[in-house]
Each structure stands twice: as C-alpha cells, then as structure tokens.
Amino acid sequence: MEHPDARAANSPVKSPPTEECAEDREARRPAAAGECAEDRARRARVVEQYLAVARVRGWTQAAAARKLGVSASTLSQVASGKYAGDVARIAERMQRALDQEERRKRVPQRPPFALTSVAEQALETLRNAHDEGVMAVIMGRPGAGKTMAVGCYCLAEPETVLITMRPAGRKGLHGAGRPILRALADALNVELGPCVSQHEAIEAVGAALRDTGRLVIIDEIDYAAEDLLQVLRMIHDIARCGMVFVATPAFLVRLRARKSSTLEQFLSRITYCCVVNGITDEDAERIAAPFPMDRAALATLRDGAHGSARRLANALVGAQRIAAADGGKMDAKCIARAYATLMEG
C-alpha cells in the first residue's frame, strides 16, 4: 500500500482554501524581526503566484517542492500558512523560480521533428524490427538525429518500451543486468522481489513481453557491458519481440574486436543493421523550413552543420537569440556568430 505522504507528494498542487486569501494566512504568522506588513503581503503574493504556476503547469507537490529544494510536506505547510520555519527564504526561491519560468517564455524555438533521410532510415528499421519481432541496431554519429527518430516512433507507437542507458558502475546489485531488468520490469508492471535472482528476472520480463507485439528500444547501448548484452539476448529469445539498439559506430567495432563467444551469440541475433550518415543539404533545408531566412543564410546554416542535425538545431536556436538581441532578422551573419559559440563538431 502506498504511504499517505507519497500519495500527497505525487498529487497535483491544489488551490488553498478559497475562504482565506494568502494575506490572511500570512497575517496569522508571527512577524520576523524587522519585517513590515508590506513585506508579508509581498511574500504572500509570491507564494500565491508560485502555486498558481504550479497548478497551470500540472506539477505534482513533489515536483513543485523539488524546484525549491524543500520537501513536499514543507511546501504544503507553506501553502496552508502553517509552516513555522523561514518562509521568507522559501519565498525568495519561489520568486527565482517564477523569474525563470518567465524567461523560459522567451527561449528561442527549437526546430520541430523533420523527416530527414536519417529519420526515414531509422523509422524503417524500427518498423521492420517491430513487425517481425527481430533484433536490430541503428548506428550513427552523435547528433545525426537517431534519438529524434526514436522519439517520433514512440509517439506513434505509445506501447513501445524505451530505455536509455546511462554510464554507471559496471556491477549493480547481483550483476550488470540488474538495472536494465528493473527498468524493463517497471515499464511492463512486473513485480520483482528484492531477492529475485537474475535468471528469474529474465524469465519474468521475457514472459511479460511474449505475445504482446511490443517493441523494446535501448538507446545509448554503447554503455552496455558484455553481460548486459547477454541478458538482453536471453530476454529476446524468450519474448520473440522486436528489440532495437541505438548506438554509435564504435559499438559494433568494439564488440567485434573482443572475439567473445557470448558476444557472437548476441551479434548473431541481429537481423538488421542500419548505418545512418550525417544529414544531407536537403535534410538541413527540411529542418530549417519553419524559420524564414534568405539563401545566403541557409547556405551558411548548411555548411556549418558538418552533417550534424543537433549542431544545426543548436545554431538555429543561437541565431534566433542573436537576431532578437540585435533587433534584426536571422541572416547569414547571425548564423555564423551562432556557430562560433558552439563546440566544434
């Protein structure tokens, strides 16, 4: 059974009682040394504004509290006027959070998903692996647009299970496969007890995936250790569901160099290997289509991308910011200046 405090933390931020305004709640609180009525009223308005923004954004109590560096119960007490601690300090954090939300409204627009040649190849591989229940790998340089294509596929197929690997210590509890098994179990609503063996967890996850017609995507598979790849291979052998790994070209080079029998087992299961290169000039024009610019600006944008969709998108964001600051349009000079602020790619 979920603990009451956990339920409260995960619930949406609620409006305070309507019969009592923020100033009334502040008036009940003992005044701090040197604090005037105007300070208290201003603080009450900040609290009210922060709670209103939290409700509009759909933040949970826990999320709204986390932005302030306090617990959900502390935020609840502040909202109800029952907090006995330093409310001024929390109100200052609320004001900073409100200021940041206001600045975010002026953040330049990132380019929306564009059906580039890279996306077309990746989406075809995802669809084939999904429909045929086979293993596949999508490889390409960082920033080529692989993850964007994966996100697009997941929107179209919401039952897809997407796991993103993170760099971590090689061994977790009872082996390197444990974190991925936990992540898959959580996504599939499979209960794994604290003492379950890795073999039992593999069987349970594989059984939960069998005959579901679902697709499992593991992004950033470069971080996976050899024994984790073996775990994924065994899950696929049980489930016979589509499983796609997203990686850089170094992934297969590294695996083939090891000459391991278990890695050979893993590699032998891969039916499709999709290698995507950088974006083309036509791809760059598709990504830039929502942003008005002349031919010189577009040429500068294409040339500076160096085949990277991510680099091009970052330049578009920077160029918008520069153009807004200069009070002009997004021209070739703005784009060149934006590229100059980026890491070389």
pLDDT digits (tens, 9 = 90+) for 125-169: 999 999 999 999 999 999 999 999 999 999 999 999 999 987 754
Per-residue pLDDT for 178 more than 90? no
Interstrand relation of 161-164 and 135-140 (parallel, antiparallel or unpaired): unpaired
Q: Spell out the alpha helix ranges (H) of 196-291.
A: 198-209, 226-239, 250-258, 261-268, 281-288
Per-residue pLDDT for 301 more than 90? yes
Spatial CA neighbour of 290 closest among 305, 312, 322 = 312
Asked if residues 118 and 275 have their Cβ atoms less than 8 Å apart, the reply is no
Q: How far apart are CA 189 and CA 184, in angstroms?
A: 8
Residues 6 or more apart whose Cβ sits within 8 Å of residue 180 = 163, 165, 218, 224, 228, 231, 232
Asked if residues 219 and 150 have their Cβ atoms less than 8 Å apart, the reply is yes
Q: Residue 38's pLDDT is what?
A: 84
Residues listed for the chain: 345
* Confidence band for 259, pLDDT divided at 50, 70 and 90: confident
Tokens of 209: 């995936």
> Would you list the domain boundaries of the chain?
4-104, 117-276, 281-340
Q: Residue 339's pLDDT is what?
A: 97
The CATH number that domain 117-276 falls under is 3.40.50.300
Mean pLDDT of 43-52: 93
Spatial CA neighbour of 276 closest among 126, 164, 55, 118 = 118
Q: Which residues pair with 162 in a beta bridge?
A: 217
Q: Which residue has the higher pLDDT, 6 or 218?
A: 218
First to last CA, the chain: 51
Say whether 43 sits in a helix, a strand or coil.
Answer: helix
Asked if residues 325 and 332 have their Cβ atoms less than 8 Å apart, the reply is no
Q: How far is residue 143 CA from its own chain's centroid? A: 15
Mean pLDDT of 250-256: 87
Per-residue pLDDT for 311 more than 60? yes
Say whether 117 sits in a helix, a strand or coil.
Answer: helix
Mean pLDDT of 278-305: 96
Mean pLDDT of 325-332: 92
Per-residue pLDDT for 176 more than 60? no
Q: What is the tens place of the pLDDT at every residue in 208-229?
A: 999 999 999 999 999 888 888 9
Mean pLDDT of 310-316: 96
CATH architecture of 281-340: Orthogonal Bundle (1.10)
Q: Which residue has the higher pLDDT, 102 or 3?
A: 102
Mean pLDDT of 278-294: 95
Q: Residue 7's pLDDT is what?
A: 56
Say whether 68 sits in a helix, a strand or coil.
Answer: coil
* Confidence band for 29, pLDDT divided at 50, 70 and 90: low
Q: Residue 333's pLDDT is what?
A: 96
Per-residue pLDDT for 106 more than 50? yes
Q: Residue 223's pLDDT is what?
A: 85
| Sheet with 135-140, side-by-side order of all strands | 161-164, 215-219, 242-247, 135-140, 270-276
Say whether 331 sits in a helix, a strand or coil.
Answer: coil
Burial class (CB in 10 A: 0-12, 13-18, 19+), 247: buried
Per-residue pLDDT for 43 more than 60? yes
Mean pLDDT of 168-179: 50
Mean pLDDT of 293-300: 96
Q: How far apart are CA 290 and CA 194, in angstroms?
A: 50
Q: In percent, how much of the chain has pLDDT > 90?
A: 65
